[in-house]
Amino acid sequence: MMTGDSRGLKRISQRFASTAALAVFLGLATPAQAADPPQNQGTSTPRGGSAASSGIQTARAAETTALPDGLPPAAVSPTPPQPTSSEPPTPTAAEVSSPEDGAALRAWLSSPAAPHCALVELARRAGLIYAACGADGVLIVAPGSPPTLLDHQHLPGSVVGFAVANGKLVARVNREIQVEISAPSPTPPIAASTASAPLPPASPRGAAAVVLVTPDHVVIDLGRDDSIQLGTHIAFEDASQPGGQIVVGSVSRVSPHRARVELAVAHQIAFGSVARVTLEPVTRNVERRLGGASFGLLARPFLGLASDGVGVLVDADLGYRFASPFQLRLVFAPIGSATSAQSSSTTFTGFLLASYDSPVFEAGSGLGAQTVNDSGRPISPGSGTLLPLYFRAGRIDGLNASLRLDFTLFHQEFEFTSAFFRGSVPIVPRWWLVLAAAGGSSGFSLFEAGVRRRFLGDGGSGTLDLLATAGASRIYKVEHTFQAAPGGGEFAVANTSSFSGAHLGLGFEKHF
């Protein structure tokens, strides 16, 4: 005959076993976890840094992640809740790994050839062993001596165990997100009578990591399930800047656990860098240097309209931008030639330019040579020593304008020989409208408009921009001959050879 204490203990034991059985059926715990409190579940570290940082509150969310298709399936079905008994139910949803499996796998993991795994739990399914490795993901191993690694899968969070849902093996994942805590407003403390008033809903401010980087967008590991929506603004740290400059993009595509973020201009966002939701506007321009060597070329062939001649104007630019605000460039702009059956003409401008080069301003000068085809004096065409002055205002990858003024020492006199204007206007990400106008007594003139398209890279090494323009060009020279004047003396007669026509320009700019 049972005493009252014995009957009470039996009822408590039955209720505990029933609760454990229900937890196993729902896939929320393995049998060992249902019966005993977890000893070492493993935790994941927030990607944005320590949760103890000022203004950050850390929340943990338990998730289940289905292992990808293509693994050997197992014909299993969930086990319904068992009648209450004094013993916890035996799981049938997934095979339990044997002690031999655990001993063999731990011995293999201790070898240098095995991947790192902070082993948390084992499961056997369809003859394969699945190892939950915390932040190291999941190992799928074929048993043997030694075991054979079939796959190593990294999941978004810390894998703390396994369960079965809808007949499939799933990994139980602990994932932490960081939620920004707004600074208190400088207002008097809330009175006790109003402290219980409901607060307005907060904007989502999750922390994420960059999992994919392309030239014009990045992918982060937050998605629709994390309250990310189309048009949400995401802030990143630009890896090209010391200390990390903040760059803001906009979400253009979203899935339950991923989001694609478009960048208005090219930036160097590092794989794995921190991303967070922000209310700041999208970054249109950024103050940063595109260091290293570069080479650009633009050719403008044209057919003469007023004559049967053909011609071409070419710009070439080889430069090196130092880490300090200094740049050296070897410039040929333009080199041109035109010819017909009756005559020909050439123009040349080449110089070495040294400049102070900040992100939003550049100024410099140099030394070179230039043709003088129309000096305005009765002197035959020739060449002289060139002194160029160069100015740029605006960011290279943003809105900018530049002006070059050429002064040439010709026949012992300095002459203002030509001017060259360029402008660039961002249109959409990776597209710019370009304008140019130039000309002077060096023997050429041109006007053009076109587009620049960034095909490769993010502005640094490996970047490739292509240019296409349309406009009008002219190459000319003025020659003087002297004839005897009536009554004695001589007078000069100017003879002009001119070639002009519509041109199409094609070019590129490459950063190394």
What CATH number corresponds to the domain at position 240? 2.40.10.340
Question: Is 354's pLDDT higher than 70?
Answer: yes
Which pair of structure tokens corresponds to residue 111? 């070898």
**From start to end of 102-244, where are the E strands?**
121-125, 128-132, 138-142, 148-153, 158-165, 168-180, 207-213, 217-220, 233-238
What is the reported pTM? 0.50
Question: Tokens 């932490």 belong to which residue?
Answer: 176
Residues 6+ apart with CB under 8 A from 309: 338, 339, 340, 344, 499
CA dist., res. 458 & res. 472, Å (int): 32
Q: Which helix (H) or strand (E) holds 64?
A: strand 56-66
Is residue 372 located within the same domain as residue 244?
no
What does residue 377 show for φ and ψ, rounded to 5 degrees? -120, 160
Instruction: Pick the last residue of a domain from 232, 257, 287.
Output: 287
Asked if the structure places residue 186 within a domain, the reply is no
At residue 409, does pLDDT exceed 80?
yes
Residue-wise pLDDT tens digits, 69-115: 444 433 333 344 444 444 433 333 345 556 677 778 888 888 887 88
pLDDT value, residue 452: 95
Q: For the chain, how many structural domains are there in total?
A: 3
**Identity at 99, one-letter amino acid code:** P
Residues 465 and 433 in one domain: yes
d(CA 319, CA 362): 14
Sheet architecture: strand order including 168-180: 56-66, 168-180, 158-165
Nearest to 22 by CA among 81, 71, 75: 81
**275 plus 153 within the same structural domain:** no
Residue 223, CA distances (Å) to 67, 135, 261, 271, 294 in order: 19, 20, 11, 18, 39
* Last-in-domain residue among 177, 195, 214: 177
The CATH number for 350's domain is 2.40.160.40
Distance, CA of 424 to CA of 402 (rounded, Å): 9
> Are 281 and 356 contained in the same domain?
no
* Section 311-322 average pLDDT: 94
DSSP states along 230-248? TT-EEEEEETTSTT-EEEE
218 and 262 housed in the same domain: yes
Greater pLDDT, 489 or 315: 315
Interatomic CA distance for residues 75 and 213, integer angstroms: 39
- N-term to C-term CA, the chain: 91
Q: Are 158 and 44 in contact (CB under 8 A)?
A: yes
Q: Is the pLDDT of residue 48 over 70?
A: no
Assess if residue 2 is contained within a domain.
no
| Cα 67 to Cα 25: distance, rounded to the nearest angstrom | 19
- Could you tell me if residue 187 is inside a domain? no
Task: Examine the fold and report which residue of 234, 254, 287 is the final residue of a domain before the chain moves on.
Answer: 287
Residue 196 is assigned to a structural domain of this protein: no
